């Protein structure tokens, strides 16, 4: 950022602070937005729900109670309790624990997605404000030139075309400046909505133009929240295979039933047994379907990893291009922009240039500053995208 623009941003920034407005960082905005998000609260409740279901893993079938007359002489009460094979309950508990982990990873994904969305809005607001600063300077210059051109036309010093050109240039810049003011107001409103802040008199931090090294790239896709979620789906699918296999094992039964006379001793009134999985086909179908679910999960993981890899390459390519562009602007283009403005002003004041050429030259100079901010926006956005793909909040 050129020195005049930096100075203007700094003066504007600290002037607003002196009027008691609070500066809210990106991290603070994200924290408040996450705290206020209904989706994140719902994700927390989903974790709680899955934890509550852990105890249900050991649920046993209802006890059967009968009143009947086995001998035809009297009625007696019988009880029967069946149990699955013990490994069924163990596998159900392990499966449910993995579902708890899945809910936790879903919360991470929801958090990452929402934080990324809020950060993009914060970045866009930073860029908007930086553009406003540049356009406000340009708007002020063009307003003065338009007013001066009108006076000189009335005095017969310039022709009508130069007057119209000056007025048109001012009109375009002024309209663009007002568009950014409206957009900035809307972005502030969005941040208020996400964070739940009632006070609208807050400031955001100026956008950073600090470049980072080229070692920024990191392709460790296992940290991607969406990939982790699918990987957890695969773990659950494998746990379900174990559960379906254990269900094919014999069950256990225990009961109390007096099949003899009333005088039958207590020890002979109990019965023990097993449940036989005679219908093997239905168990095999469940096991095969569970194995297919594992294969589906693995293919989904591979597909998502390909997609995320492509997105990472695109984001890193954007990062590199934007970094090169920023380096050029900061080493050459911004200096050229200042020289163009100073030279055009000198030539115009010395009568060596008319309004049309003067406005065209300074318009080109300001366009360089706006393109610089565009590159800065792409640079910062590419960093947000890479961090998002890496699963870094």
Per-residue pLDDT 10s for the chain (393 aa) are 444 444 444 444 444 444 456 888 999 999 999 999 999 999 999 999 999 999 999 999 999 998 888 777 888 888 999 999 999 999 999 999 999 999 999 999 999 999 999 999 999 999 999 999 999 999 999 999 899 899 989 998 889 998 999 999 999 999 999 999 999 999 999 999 999 887 767 888 888 877 776 555 555 677 899 999 999 999 999 999 999 999 999 999 989 887 777 777 888 888 888 888 887 788 899 999 999 999 999 999 999 999 999 999 999 999 999 999 999 999 999 999 999 999 998 998 888 888 888 889 999 999 999 999 999 999 999 999 999 998 887
Backbone torsion region of residue 351, taken as left when φ is above 0, otherwise alpha when ψ lies between -120 and 50, otherwise beta: left
| DSSP, res 61 | P
3-state DSSP assignment of residue 202: strand
Interatomic CA distance for residues 286 and 91, integer angstroms: 15
Parallel, antiparallel, or unpaired: how do β-strands 22-24 and 202-204 relate? parallel
Residue 96 near residue 278 (C-beta atoms within 8 A): no
CA dihedral angle for residue 340, residue 341, residue 345, residue 348, rounded to 10 degrees:
50
- Looking at residue 48, what is its pLDDT? 97
For the entire predicted model, the pTM comes to 0.85
**In the beta sheet, which residues pair with residue 254?**
81, 272
Adjacency order of strands within the sheet including 76-83: 64-68, 76-83, 251-256, 270-275
- 291-323 burial string, b = 16+ CB within 10 Å, else e? bebbeebbeebeebbeebeeebeebbebbeebb
Q: Give Cβ neighbours of residue 36 (< 8 Å, ≥ 6 apart).
A: 194, 195, 196
Considering only CA atoms, which of 246, 212, 223 is closest in space to residue 316? 212
For the chain, the C-alpha Rg in angstroms (whole number) is 36
Interatomic CA distance for residues 255 and 272, integer angstroms: 6
- Looking at residue 98, what is its pLDDT? 97
**In the beta sheet, which residues pair with residue 83?**
252
Interatomic CA distance for residues 287 and 247, integer angstroms: 10
């Amino acid at each position: 950022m050129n020195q005049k623009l930096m100075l203007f941003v700094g003066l504007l920034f600290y002037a607003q602070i002196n009027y008691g407005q609070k500066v809210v960082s990106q991290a603070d905005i994200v924290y408040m937005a996450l705290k206020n998000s209904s989706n994140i609260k719902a994700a927390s409740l989903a974790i709680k729900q899955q934890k509550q279901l852990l105890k249900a893993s050991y649920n046993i079938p209802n006890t059967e109670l009968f009143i009947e007359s086995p001998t035809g002489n009297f009625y007696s009460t019988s009880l029967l309790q069946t149990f699955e094979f013990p490994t069924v309950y163990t596998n159900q508990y392990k499966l449910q624990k993995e579902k708890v982990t899945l809910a936790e990873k879903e919360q991470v994904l929801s958090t990452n997605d929402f934080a990324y969305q809020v950060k993009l809005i914060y970045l866009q607001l930073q860029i908007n404000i930086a553009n406003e600063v540049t356009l406000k300077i340009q708007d002020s210059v063009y307003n003065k030139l338009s007013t001066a051109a009108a006076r000189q036309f009335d005095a017969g010093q310039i022709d009508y075309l130069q007057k119209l050109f000056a007025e048109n240039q001012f009109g375009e810049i002024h309209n663009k400046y007002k568009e950014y003011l409206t957009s900035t107001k809307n972005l502030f409103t969005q941040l208020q909505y996400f964070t739940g802040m009632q006070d609208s008199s807050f400031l955001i931090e100026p956008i950073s133009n600090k470049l980072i090294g080229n070692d920024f790239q990191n392709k460790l896709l296992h940290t991607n929240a969406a990939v982790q979620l699918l990987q957890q789906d695969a773990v659950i699918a494998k746990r379900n295979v174990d559960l379906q296999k254990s269900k094919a094992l014999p069950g256990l039964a225990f009961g109390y039933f007096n099949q003899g006379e009333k005088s039958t001793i207590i020890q002979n009134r109990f019965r023990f047994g097993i449940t036989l999985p005679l219908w093997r086909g239905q168990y095999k179908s469940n096991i095969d379907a569970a194995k297919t679910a594992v294969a589906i999960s693995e293919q989904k993981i591979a597909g998502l990893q390909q997609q995320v890899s492509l997105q990472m390459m695109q984001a890193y390519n954007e990062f590199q291009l934007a970094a090169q562009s920023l380096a050029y602007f900061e080493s050459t283009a911004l200096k050229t922009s200042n020289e163009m403005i100073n030279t055009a002003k000198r030539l115009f004041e010395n009568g060596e240039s008319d309004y049309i050429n003067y406005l065209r030259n300074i318009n080109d100079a300001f366009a360089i500053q706006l393109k610089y901010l565009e590159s800065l926006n792409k640079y910062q956005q590419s960093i947000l995208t890479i961090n998002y793909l890496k699963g870094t909040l």
